[in-house]
Each structure stands twice: as C-alpha cells, then as structure tokens.
Amino acid sequence: MSAVNERLAELAELGRHENGIDRALGTPQERAARERFAAWARARNYALTQDRVGNLFARRAGTREGARPILVGSHLDTVPTGGAYDGAYGVVAAICALEALDERNAATEHPVDAVAWVGEEGGRFLLGCLGSSVFTGAHDVERALSLQDSEGVTLRDALASPEGGLLDGVPMREEMRVAAYVELHVEQGPVLEREAVPLGVVTAIAGQRRYRVVIDGTSGHAGTVPMARRGDALCAAAELILAVERAAIVAGESVATVGRLVVEPNGTNVIPARTTFSVDIRSPHDDRIEAVEKALREAATEAQARRRVNTSVERLESRAPAPMDPKLRATLHKAVAALDLKAIDVPSGAGHDAMCLSRIAPTAMLFVPSIGGRSHVAEEETSPEDLETGVTALVASIIEVDKFVI
Ligand code: GLV
Ligand code: MN
Ligand code: MN
C-alpha cells in the first residue's frame, strides 16, 4: 500500500465505530489525529508549529530568504458518522507531497507548509471552517475560543484539556503571510466519476449561510389539550423546514438542509415545548441564498402569529461564494497537463478551508473522484489509484506554484 493509502487507513481507525467515524474538534479522537500528523512531521524534521485554536503547520524549508510559505492542506475533523477521506485526504496528501519533494531533492524557493486545519465541519462548535477562519482573521480568536458546544463546554476549555487539547511540546506559530494556498480534496459529488477523469480544478466554492432556529411553544398533555389550543413547537418547526425546502427549489441553483433537530422534552405523550434546529443554505449566487433566508424569516414570523409560538432565527455564519484564483487555476492545469493527466473544471458545492484562505492569498483546489459521488457518509470512498494520482498532481502543482507566486 502506498503511504497516502496507509496513512488514511491509520487515521480512519481514530474515532471509528459501527456507523462511521466521529472526530469532532477537541475530542480525544481528533486530538489523536493531530498527534499522528505531528509524528509524521517530526519523523522528517519538518518544523512543526500550532496556533491557539490547534491548527498545525509542518514546514519544509525554502531556499529564498524571507519568501512567504505556500500552504497545502485540509482538515482532520469529520462530520458525525463521517467517512475516511473528507479532509483527512488533503492533510495526508500534503505531508506525502513534502516527502516526495524531499525524495526528489526538489528545492523550492518558498517554504512549503503542510497544514491541518481544525474544526472545518463545524459540528461541535457550530462555526464551520473554524481554524481557517481564525487564521485568516475572518473570526476573532477570543470569540472562537468562547464558542460553546451543546454541553456548554467552551472551545477554550476543550483545547486546554489533556484529552482533546493543544499538543504538548509544539511551539506556537509566528505571524505569517501566505504566498498561496492549494487544497486537495475528494470531490464529494458525481461529476469526475461521470466524466471519467481523475482530476478536477475547482472554479469556485458555493456561498453558504448557517442558522440556529429556536421555537418555543407550550408543553402539555398529548391526550387532553384540544388541537385548536396548542402551541406545538414541533409542528411549527415542520412548517418552517418545509418552507425552506420549497424556497430553495423555487430559487434554483441553491440547496437548503435541516440536518439537526432537537425536540424537548421529546416524550411520546407530551406536546413539544421547544425545538432547536439548524438550517444550512448554499448557492453559487448570494442573492439566491438571500431569497431562501428571507423565506425562512417570513415563515418564522407567520408561524409565530398563527401557532402561539415564539421563534428566533439566528444567523451563525455567512460566507460569500469564493471564486478560486484564475492564475493559480491555470497553473494547476498546466502542472497536471505536463503529467499527461486529464483535469476538468468543476464547481464545489461543499465548503472548504480554501474559502477562507482565498480572502488572504491566491487559492486553488484540486479534486479527485468520489465513488458514487457520496460524502459525509461512512461509505464515502475514492479508489487507491485516484488518491495516489491526486498526490502526484499536488506535488507537480506545488513545483509550478513555487515558480509562479511571489
Ligand atoms: C463541509 O464539508 C461543508 O461543506 O459543510
Ligand atoms: Mn472537507
Ligand atoms: Mn465535510
């Protein structure tokens, strides 16, 4: 087995259970993945640093004094019951790429950092792309550290704990300005497989907004309260959820998902008192996201008036669509073509740390095919050959990008 496949198999054991892999930020399983990354970096003497939220950087030195680093990486956390490739692939591939540069004795002018961003999925602390948001200044570090999980544990406490916290003996990163960012990721959609090409160069990443909706109704006995007098928080939630679904269909080129719903007190014979749910809206067009948000807010206002409930819609996160850098995309195409590999342009419906990095540096992404287009499920898979091809393309891309960026 090649190094990239071996290491992915190793990471897949961390957090594995019968329904998939759980590796949320600040848990022992996620920390163990960061430890693995650190061990791979130390084995090659790459200069390893971390920052206050746990992002890890393994640096292969460059030859030009004062040159900014090229960053290459992705994330190590997973969604609940996630798979082995989303994020982990890009991190493992980044380390493998640095090693491949060593093996070829390939000097680069710029330092090249393999990066493991933390908390990209936003499962535990709700803010997606947490590590890269803090790194790029999109979110204040103190605000991020004050975020709480559903049990009231702050990120600050999670990162201070020996079980899930920052790594011991790894120095804090110094300020850095970035020359370019390249992220390799599994496509998570069906296009590359359908087109039978091994690589995609991402054109743009869809914009996204996330919300927490809370509906407070009135609890009561399921057998005695007449239908006309109820303030059922779950029935109101059902209306809002379907309104969001309809709005995304009507807006077109947009998707909306309610993936998390908590019902309280959650008893079979008790009228629901409170529902809390997430809404995730995405589109390549900001105005369509806006239209779906408007429909959500209108449905909330309308349900409040008609159903004897209180509703609150809180926007937790908003990211504009992120076009990838045209010159860097062309550089990736050139690198891939020189390897005699085929690549096509593809958009990304999924979010990535590259969205944040694109705010501060030329940024581009490479995709490899996902079998059946499946992702965010335990069954997500990419063939071992495609995973290796992606690493080869990444190495060639780093060498080209090193020539192109200042
Ligand atoms: C991350 O994978 C996202 O697209 O939410
Ligand atoms: Mn990902
Ligand atoms: Mn993901």
3-state secondary structure 9-39: HHHHCCCEECCEECCCCCCHHHHHHHHHHHH
Cβ 128 under 6 angstroms from ligand 1? yes
* 338, pLDDT greater than 90: yes
What is the 351 CA–ligand 1 centroid distance (Å)?
A: 4
The domain 3-206+321-404 belongs to what CATH superfamily?
Zn peptidases (3.40.630.10)
The bound ligand whose nearest atom lies closest to the alpha carbon of 319 is 1
* 282, pLDDT greater than 90: yes
* 92, pLDDT greater than 90: yes
Tell me the pLDDT of the chain averaged across its residues: 97
Cα separations in angstroms, 93 against 203, 324, 330, 388, 389: 21, 20, 21, 9, 10
Q: Give the mean pLDDT of 195-208.
A: 98
Of residues 232 and 1, which shows the higher confidence score?
A: 232
Q: Give the mean pLDDT of 228-235.
A: 97
- 8 Å CB contact between 199 and 336: yes
Angle at 32 between CA 26 and CA 37, to 5 degrees: 110
- What phi and psi values does residue 106 have, to the nearest 5 degrees? -85, 110
- The pLDDT score that the predictor gives to residue 126 is 85
- 8 Å CB contact between 366 and 200: yes
Report the nearest atom of ligand 1 relative to the CA of 350: 4
Report the nearest atom of ligand 1 relative to the CA of 375: 2
- The pLDDT score that the predictor gives to residue 405 is 86
The CB density around residue 327, as the number of other CB atoms within 10 Å, is: 13
Give the pTM: 0.95
Cβ 350 under 6 angstroms from ligand 1? yes
The bound ligand whose nearest atom lies closest to the alpha carbon of 74 is 2
Domain regions of the chain by residue span: 3-206+321-404, 207-319
Question: pLDDT (tens digit, 9 = 90+) per residue, 43-66?
Answer: 999 999 999 999 999 999 999 999
Q: Which amino acid is at 389?
A: T
207-319 maps to which CATH number?
A: 3.30.70.360
Report the nearest atom of ligand 1 relative to the CA of 128: 5
* 251, pLDDT greater than 90: yes
- Asked if domains 3-206+321-404 and 207-319 share a fold, the reply is no
- The pLDDT score that the predictor gives to residue 1 is 86
Cβ 330 under 6 angstroms from ligand 1? no
* 395, pLDDT greater than 90: yes
- The pLDDT score that the predictor gives to residue 349 is 96
- 8 Å CB contact between 334 and 388: no
